[in-house]
Each structure stands twice: as structure tokens, then as C-alpha cells.
Amino acid sequence: MLRPRKRWKTRWNSTPSSRRRLSKCTERASGSRPAPVARNCDNRGMSQTYILTFSCPDRLGLVHAVSGFLLERGGNIEEAAQYNDHDTGLFFMRVQFSCSQLSHAELKSQLGTFAEPLKLQWNLQTVAQPMRTVIMVSKEGHCLNDLLFRWKSGLLPLDIRAIVSNHREFYQLAASYNVPFHHIPVTAATKEQAEAKQLEIIEAEGAELVVLARYMQILSDNMCRQLNGRAINIHHSFLPSFKGAKPYYQAHDRGVKLIGATAHYVTADLDEGPIIEQDVARVDHSRTVEDLTTLGRDTESQVLARAVKWHSEHRVLLNGHKTVIFR
């Protein structure tokens, strides 16, 4: 199981002035934050484990070509999975391998040359590096609580850099996990400025993943474009049913026998992004709206945690409006 690397012990000042980092609307949870994790750019001679993911037009000999490329450079394949989409003619693959002969930078350079004639859309990451993550939340904290607990328990390969919220409810929760908390109020009049501050935090933290853990503001088209492919939302419904607000009221009104949750990538089309994970729970006529909401929260937390885990382990590849998941 992948585990996050320990954070550096170097801390920022915990003075009031240091907790005003980006604007007067931005607050940091009490405590301190770690210095950014250093990236090892020259690891030649040290055995390093990598994950290579790619998609490309399907053709004969792709697996042979990739495995041969790695073999010639001393790579040892530890795990591999592939999928051929006959409808689109695309091939998808995820390879986990170890290598000591080349540095990360050298591997990326040589992969670029190798990938061009095959038209590979590829990504190469090191297993040892946890994924830098920013979590956004509003007033409901069950998904946030669950993610923080799993992360702190070593169950998610994340480096949670910040929590951003349009409310103050989870300031103390963030402090208990020693995670910076940024309160950025959002109104119709200030939405554009608020999103600019949110994006500033996301980029300043070098976030590779943004998790909308029941963040109840609709993102603008511009922000969706900025976060394309790296923002995951949890929708409290089994999409495509009951989109929008209050899905449990809609479900109760329709007398459904199943309720569910959907984790998907964020796009400009509300609740229409590529689906990563879904789950359902069975209910009956005796359940109240409150019962459905309580049961739904458990389902939401589990679905979001699985989606975040798969994404952070580089197991999710986009395939148009769909996803390919190598579990």
C-alpha cells in the first residue's frame, strides 16, 4: 500500500501576521504548516518506483514496445494493466516499474522521444511522491472528516496542503490536523474575486488534485477550465438521476428504493463530468428524508475516498466523457 512521505519538520512562523498569507479573507488554521516537499530530480543509481500511464491509437505491438523500452533501460515491471476501447480505437495502459539506471528527468526525456511516433499521451510519476492536494468544503463535513482521517492514517497517498471554505465551520478541524485553513466568503457579487483567490491558493500550493468535499458553490466555466482533469466532486445522488440541489428530497418524493452517490471530474457542465466511482444503498418506504440523508452521507464518504485513492495512485485515465480505471 502506498503511504505518504513524512513531512519536513521545518515550520512556518505561527504568528498572526504569518497566518494572513494571501488576503484578508484568507485564514490559516492555528498551528503551522510544513515547508514544501522537495522533489528528487537526480536519482540515478537509486532504485526508484515509477508509474507510467498513457493512451494512444491502438496498434499491434504496443505492449511489446513499451516493455522493451523499459527493459532496455533496466526497468523491472511490477504491475501492468491495459484496456483496448474498440468503440474509440484507443489503447490505455498503466505500468508500475522500478528503475535505477536513469534519473526521473532522463526517463521523461527519453519517453518523450519514444512516445512521439506512437502518438502516446503519457504521464510519468514516482510512487514515493504523495499527491499535493487542496480540499474545498462548505458546511457539511462528513467527507472532509473522512478524507483527513484516511490521509492521517496513511490510507491515501496525499499531501494535503490546504482546506478552502466559504464558511468558518471547519477551522478547528483543520487545526487539529495541522492543515492551513483559508476562509473565503462567496457571494454573487464577489464570486469572481473569490475564485481568483481560491485559484491563487491552489497554484501557490502546487496542487495536483482539488477535492470538492461537499463544496456547494457552482464553479464558473473559467475555474472549471483551470482545474480540468484535476478536480473531483462528490455528488449526493446516483447520477444521472436527481441532479442539482436537495437530491434526497427528490428521491424521497419519488419513492426510490435505492439512493446513491457519484464521484466525478469537474467540468463546466454541472454534474456531467466523467464518472470515477458510484455506489448505492437500499432503502424502503419507511425511510424519512433525514434517514436518506444520514445513509447517503456514509455512501458519499466511501465513494469519494475510493475516487481520490484511485486518482492519487494514477489509476484513472480519461476516455472522452468516460474514464478507464485500473483498480
List active site positions: 271
DSSP 3-state of 215: coil
Residue appearing with cell numbers 480540499: 135
d(CA 126, CA 313): 10
* Contact yes or no for 26/183 (Cβ under 8 A): yes
The 8 Å CB, 24+ separation contacts for 250-256 are: 251/292, 252/287, 252/288, 252/289, 252/292, 255/285, 256/283
C-alpha cell at 86: 474498440
Helix %, strand %, coil % for the chain, to 5? 30, 25, 45
d(CA 28, CA 11): 13
Residue appearing with cell numbers 456531467: 272
d(CA 303, CA 325): 14
* C-alpha R_g of the chain: 21
The 10 Å Cβ neighbour count of residue 38 is: 8
Contacts for 51 with CB less than 8 Å, ≥ 6 apart: 94, 95, 96, 124, 125, 126, 127, 313, 314
Instruction: List Cα–Cα distances, 151 to 30, 33, 130, 161, in angstroms.
Output: 19, 16, 10, 12
